[in-house]
Amino acid sequence: MPKILYSSASPYSAKVRMAAAYAGIEAESVPTDTNAEPAMLVDNNPLGKIPVLITDAGEAVYDSRAITQYLNRESKNRLFPRNPAKRTEAERLEALADGICDCLLAHVYERRFRPEEKIHQEWLDKQWKKVTRALDHLNAAPPKLPKTITAGHLALRAMLGYLALRFDGKWEKGRGKLKRWAARFDEKFPELVQYLPK
């Protein structure tokens, strides 16, 4: 059985684990502490980052977007539409959600690993501006939630889950459509809720 090295708080891990479940690909989830740099992680991804998917053949696939593409091929296009325009739309949504997560993680790591006097607030403000601009863009026209969803939808739900975990009370004002979108997602796909960041 394939393995997914993951962290329970990671939005990228959440997206990949939801993608595997939605695509019907069984995988063993292996909790992984990146700070400890365990051999299973660094031997399979020299960057020491999660998530990493290890196939039955022992091949490592890393970077969450590379993993969703791999899972899509393995599941015969369960995660991305075949139609080129719709596929681009799904890939763009995944990229936007992941990009927001990149900015959010910059915030978390800056505060977690730097002493207070060395925190670069101007840089953090710039990252937060990117987050709010992207959230406003998504809130203005949230993607539809059809019966068949894409990796883009999964990335968006994982990102909103990470916001709820790490930035509760700091992003919701004026973005009720996104909050309702997340609630509708959870109602339609209750089996995926267990994978959200926690």
What is the per-residue pLDDT across 108-156, written as a single tens digit (0 to 9) for each? 887 777 778 787 889 899 999 999 999 999 999 999 999 999 999 999 9
Give pLDDT, residue 120: 83
pTM of the model: 0.96
Q: How confident is the model at residue 88 (pLDDT cuts 50, 70, 90)?
A: very high
Closest by CA to 104, choosing from 171, 43, 154, is 171
pLDDT band at 107 (very low <50, low <70, confident <90, very high): confident
pLDDT for position 191: 98
Task: Report the pLDDT averaged over residues 162-168.
Answer: 97
What pLDDT, on the 0 to 100 scale, is given for residue 116? 80
Instruction: Out of 83-87, 114-118, 119-123, 163-167, pick the least confident.
Output: 114-118
> At 61, is the pLDDT very low, low, confident or very high (cuts 50, 70, 90)?
very high
Please state, in angstroms and rounded to a whole number, the distance separating the CA atoms of residues 154 and 180: 15
pLDDT computed for residue 160 by the predictor? 98
- CA-angle at 142, arms to 138 and 147, nearest 5°: 140
Any idea which of 31-40, 105-114, 155-164, 182-191 has the lowest mean pLDDT? 105-114
Domains of the chain: 3-74 (3.40.30.10), 84-195 (1.20.1050.10)
pLDDT above 90 for 93: yes
Q: How far apart are CA 53 and CA 67, in angstroms?
A: 7
Q: Which residue bears the tokens 């006097």?
A: 117
3-state secondary structure of 125: helix
Mean pLDDT of the chain: 96
Q: Show the tokens assigned to 99.
A: 């990009």
**Residue 129: how many other CB atoms lie within 10 Å:** 11
